[in-house]
Amino acid sequence: MSQKRKQVVKNVLLVMLMGVVVVSATAVYGDLKKNSNETYEGLKLFSDVISEVENNYVEPVEPKKLIEKAIEGMVSSLDPHSSFLPPEAFDDLQSETKGEFGGLGIVITMRDGQLTVISPIEGTPAYKAGILAQDIIVKINGEFTKEMMLWEAVKKMRGEPGSTVEISIYRQGATEVMDIKLVRAIIPMDSVRSLTLKPGYGYLWITNFRENTADEVEKALKKLEAENSPLKGLILDLRDNPGGLLDQSVKVSDVFLEEGIIVSIRGRDEKQIEEYEAQPDNAAGSKYPMVVLINGGSASASEIVAGALQDNKRALVIGTTSFGKGSVQTVRPLRDGYAIKYTIARYYTPSGKSIQAEGIQPDLVVKRRVLDETAADGFDSDMVKEGDLKNHLMSGQEDAGDVPVEKKPKKDKKEGKDAKKDGDIDKEETELEKILRLRDAVYEHSSTNSNAMLLDSQVNRAYEILKGYEIFRGFSRR
């Protein structure tokens, strides 16, 4: 074949290939245009707004900042746990589960645009200063926090250990805002405490789920088993535990389970289910009866553990309904150090129940109070829950025709037979402070730990249940 003929053939093939590419691209573009017309129209509108503001706003604006704020608003409107992270926020997020950082030691969320405390972390400056669940942080160093991005608030409260920060707190029932000056400290990364309550009965307290929590649990169990031969019962305290790493909640559950599903995860396509199962070789703590304590501050990973042990009939769960944070977030790095954290799935307990906005229901409702004094009915029922957060996800189990149940307004504390007289001390706040002091006794490892803990009504009830179970077992052996 002549060189000229070869060139003609090549040209013909090239034209044919280009025709195929054009046809294919046109078909794909047609599908994209058909399926994403609303997105394209929205982007045009977005571009128009940016251009209008950039050119005509009363003062010069930076397009980059406008776009960042627009993305922040878009992502945060999805649900309370999705957010757009600038580089500094992404760095802070990574430090939460790795290494040490200087801060105050409080777990916070945004509720109706207000920076609200979920729980203080035991042993931290915030805890020692008496900051309580449901406190609203009105200002940080004189700057109002209303509508502040969550990561911004976190960043303002973190800093070099030894440096100071002033926060202004509003507490329900208080007549004025309290200004509290705190000294930042290294936030302790250990997440497990333990002690022997009474001979044969152990108490294991998990404050959060970090990188080494499962290892810490196994070490604590070995210590308790060495002190109590045999260990007749164990109380696992997950109250005010805000959660943490999924893999650690699975591993901790696995310590107490010989078999069964621990948790399942379902995304948009519910046919794609990811299940985590217990492994028999890991069940070091499966030999004795257990009681698990939860309350409205128990969220996320702690709810996974409670749900796994409850549904697998491994433990009795007592306390009050948990927070209801049953959604899975992923963090995707973007260009230039930015990242996006967003919700990709929901958690389901082994029985198939969604945790999201529902929480773990205890087998036995026991409100927390101090047993050495006449106490109020308890405070757990008024704690902020996932279902109270703006834009919270539903559980995913609602029927199409279901009508949302309207929440009953909280009863005015001044109504009814338990009404306080003007000038009376707020007993509910007093109860909170007492309980925090009792739990601080465990943190400080004083010689009266066990007696102090048994003044906590929920711990006491758990101990009575385990003790009663052992007594009945003795009956059955006769």
Distance CA 477, CA 358 (A): 41
Distance CA 411, CA 442 (A): 34
List the catalytic residues: 300, 311, 325
**Long-range own/partner contacts, residues 270-274 (CB < 8 A, 24 or more apart):** 270/396, 274/345
* Cis previous bond, 404, omega within 30: no
Distance CA 111, CA 321 (A): 19
Q: Where are the beta strands (DSSP E) in 157-239?
A: 164-170, 178-183, 185-186, 192-198, 201-206, 233-237
Residue with tokens 């302790």: 188
Q: Are 111 and 385 in contact (CB under 8 A)?
A: no
> Residue 410: exposed, middle, or buried by beta-carbon count in 10 A (0-12, 13-18, 19+)?
exposed
Whether the per-residue pLDDT at 442 is higher than 90: the answer is no
pLDDT tens-place string over residues 341-360: 999 999 999 999 999 989 99
Segment 239-247 mean pLDDT: 89
For 302, phi and psi rounded to 5 degrees?
A: -70, -30
Whether the per-residue pLDDT at 101 is higher than 80: the answer is no
Residue with tokens 């929440």: 407
Whether the per-residue pLDDT at 393 is higher than 90: the answer is no
Structure tokens at 250: 């699975």
Q: Is 71 left (phi over 0), alpha (psi -120 to 50) or beta?
A: alpha
Structure tokens at 255: 């310590």
Split at pLDDT 50, 70, 90, the class of 15 is very low
Neighbours of 104 (CB within 10 A): 27
Give the SS3 label for residue 308. helix
Whether the per-residue pLDDT at 7 is higher than 60: the answer is no
Q: Are 365 and 320 in contact (CB under 8 A)?
A: yes
pLDDT tens-place string over residues 20-73: 444 344 444 455 555 578 888 899 999 999 999 999 999 999 999 999 999 999
Distance CA 80, CA 189 (A): 25
Compute and round to an integer the Cα radius of gyration of the chain.
27
Distance CA 442, CA 432 (A): 16
Side chain identity at residue 454, one-letter code = L
Structure tokens at 273: 């289910």
Q: CA separation (Å) from 246 to 301, 340, 401? A: 6, 19, 33
Whether the per-residue pLDDT at 133 is higher than 80: the answer is no
Distance CA 393, CA 82 (A): 11
Work out the angle at residue 433's Cα, subtended by the Cα atoms of residues 358 and 360, and round it to the nearest 5 degrees: 15
Q: Is 300 left (phi over 0), alpha (psi -120 to 50) or beta?
A: left
Angle between helices 37-56 and 63-76 in degrees, nearest 10: 140
**pTM metric for this prediction:** 0.75
Domains of the chain: 100-186 (2.30.42.10), 192-395+425-477 (3.90.226.10)
pLDDT tens-place string over residues 136-170: 999 999 999 987 888 889 889 988 999 999 999 99
For the chain, the distance separating the N- and C-terminal CA atoms, rounded to the nearest angstrom, is 104
Angle between helices 246-256 and 213-227 in degrees, nearest 10: 30
pLDDT tens-place string over residues 196-231: 999 999 999 998 898 899 999 999 999 999 999 899
For residue 471, the 8-state DSSP code is: H
Nearest 10 degrees: Cα torsion 168, 109, 297, 433: 0
Q: Where are the beta strands (DSSP E) in 269-389?
A: 273-277, 290-294, 315-319, 327-333, 339-348, 364-365
